[in-house]
């Protein structure tokens, strides 16, 4: 049933269904009693409305059977709610043995996560679908909380101790996670996305870049992902100059000046490509402002730096060849 307004988050973990069913049970019980009492009050208000100004109510005082009844029945229902909730909770606090363990550190105001093979993420969590995942969590400063509404799970992250939490994602997709223990200024933006992936894709994603993030390989990957390599052909025949040997060399610009091609020059060329055009080339490079993060720019720069030692073509080079003919 599609409602015009959302009421429930997506169900994307093994717990979600259980929690929603328990919630619905408690909701129905509460609705029953609310409606019952409200109707009784309305009924009494209508039936026993004062008829003459001096009228008084009847003299009855109580009824033991009723008292016992409306003590015992709610007690039984309450204990039922307790037991059901306890069962869900015990399950949630008892991680199975075969979990994929991910380490999580919360600090003001970001999350650092580490996958089993060492791959690190910031404010992002990638997990494979239908695997038991265990998060082992600590805090560097104050108490935070890792909360994934679509999974119906959360756990405080307390400095000085580890807390663990487990779940099994059941649906591929991207889901919010939030910090849900007030932790200071940027508590509200200390969140991110949990990406649940097909296991094969997860494995591929995981092994991408091997262990720790290698900036040069990351840059190389980006260079092709962002299609830089379609214009900046290494042999100088592309629409853009070859980047071999560019870093550290002198670039000859269209307005006649020369400039040493350092990190700042590379960064500017990515974000404001029309600022400095290499002589002989058209100002056709699109800007990547807003399309790349600082971290990605650093990776691209690292990759371009690594091209220092590559052979510089005689025609179509990005720099004046410093030692032409070498290599």
Name residues contacting another protein, limited to 72-91 (CB under 8 A): 74-75, 78-79, 81-82, 84-90
- Closest Cα partner for 232 from 290, 310, 298? 310
Distance CA 192, CA 190 (A): 7
Burial class (CB in 10 A: 0-12, 13-18, 19+), 322: exposed
The least CB distance from residue 306 to another protein, in Å, is: 39
CB 225 within 8 A of CB 300: no
Of 4 and 325, the one with the shorter C-beta distance to another protein is 4
Q: Which parts of 70-130 are beta strand (E)?
A: 100-107, 110-114, 120-122, 124-128
Query: Within positions 171 to 190, which residues make up the interface with another protein, using CB under 8 A?
Result: 176, 178-189
Q: CA-CA distances (angstroms) from residue 193 to 8, 164, 175, 236?
A: 18, 19, 5, 41
Question: Is there binding between residue 96 and another protein (CB under 8 A)?
Answer: no
How near is the Cβ of 22 to another protein at its closest, in Å?
A: 5
Binding to another protein, residues 4-43 (CB under 8 A): 5-9, 15, 18-19, 22-23, 26-27, 29-30, 33-34, 37-38, 40-41
Largest CA distance in the chain: 116
Q: Quick one: how far is CA 138 from the chain centroid?
A: 18
| CA dist., res. 136 & res. 157, Å (int) | 9
What stretch of H or E contains 69?
Answer: helix 64-93
Q: Which is nearer to another protein, 140 or 198 (CB)?
A: 140
Residues 190-219 that bind another protein (CB under 8 A): none
* Shorter beta-carbon distance to another protein: residue 25 or 281: 25
How many residues line the site for another protein (CB under 8 A)? Answer: 89
Q: In angstroms, what is the minimal distance from the CB of 80 to another protein?
A: 9
> Nearer Cβ to another protein, position 73 or 122?
73
Q: Which of residues 240-269 bind another protein (CB under 8 A)?
A: none
Binding mask 45-64 for another protein (x = CB under 8 A): x-xxxxxx-xxxxxxxxxx-
Closest distance to another protein from the beta carbon of 86 (Å): 5
With CA atoms as reference, report the closest residue to 177 among 116, 100, 106, 93: 106
Q: Do 246 and 309 form a contact (C-beta atoms < 8 A)?
A: no
Site for another protein in 291-320 (CB under 8 A): none
- 266 closest CA partner among 308, 225, 235: 308
Looking at 17, 71, 203, 286, which residue binds another protein (CB under 8 A)? 71
Q: How far is the CB of 97 from another protein (least distance, A)?
A: 17
Binding letters toward another protein, positions 131-170, x by CB under 8 A: ----------xxx-x-x-xx-xxxxx-xxxx-x-------
Q: How far is the CB of 188 from another protein (least distance, A)?
A: 4
String of contacts with another protein for each residue 108-127, x by CB under 8 A = x-------------------
The answer to whether 288 and 271 have CB atoms below 8 angstroms apart is yes
What is the DSSP track for 161-208? S-EEEEE-B-S-EEEEEEE-S--STTGGG--EEEEEE-HHHHHHHHHT
In angstroms, give the least distance from the CB of 119 to another protein. Answer: 26
Q: 88 or 298: whose CB is closer to another protein?
A: 88
* Distance in Å, CB of 167 to another protein, minimum: 10
**Least distance to another protein from the beta carbon of 295, Å?**
23
């Amino acid at each position: 049933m599609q409602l015009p307004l959302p009421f429930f988050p997506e169900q994307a973990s093994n717990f979600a269904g259980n929690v929603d069913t328990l919630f619905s049970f408690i909701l129905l019980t509460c609705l029953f009693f609310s409606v019952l009492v409200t109707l009784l009050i309305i009924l009494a208000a209508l039936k026993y409305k004062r008829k003459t100004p001096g009228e008084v109510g009847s003299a009855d005082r109580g009824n033991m059977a009723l008292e016992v009844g409306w003590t015992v029945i709610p007690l039984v229902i309450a204990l039922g709610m307790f037991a059901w909730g306890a069962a869900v909770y015990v399950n949630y606090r008892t991680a199975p043995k075969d979990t994929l363990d991910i380490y999580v550190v919360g600090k003001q105001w970001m999350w650092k996560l580490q996958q089993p093979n060492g791959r690190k993420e910031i404010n992002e969590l990638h997990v494979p679908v239908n695997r038991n995942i265990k998060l082992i969590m600590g805090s560097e400063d104050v108490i935070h909380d890792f909360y994934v509404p679509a999974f119906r799970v959360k756990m405080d992250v307390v400095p000085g101790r580890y807390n663990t939490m487990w779940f099994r994602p059941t649906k591929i997709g991207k889901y919010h996670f939030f910090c849900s223990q007030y932790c200071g200024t940027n508590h509200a933006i200390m969140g991110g996305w949990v990406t649940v992936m097909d296991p094969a894709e997860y494995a591929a994603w995981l092994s991408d870049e091997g262990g720790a993030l290698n900036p040069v390989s990351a840059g190389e990957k980006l260079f092709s992902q962002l299609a830089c390599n379609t214009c900046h052909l290494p042999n100088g025949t592309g629409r853009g100059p070859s980047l071999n040997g560019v870093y550290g060399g002198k670039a000859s610009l269209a307005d006649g000046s020369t400039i040493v091609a350092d990190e700042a020059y590379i960064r500017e060329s990515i974000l404001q490509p029309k600022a400095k055009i290499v002589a002989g080339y058209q100002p056709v490079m699109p800007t990547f402002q807003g399309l790349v993060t600082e971290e990605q720019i650093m990776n691209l720069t690292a990759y371009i730096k690594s091209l220092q030692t590559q052979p510089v073509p005689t025609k179509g080079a990005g720099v004046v060849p410093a030692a032409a003919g070498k290599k």
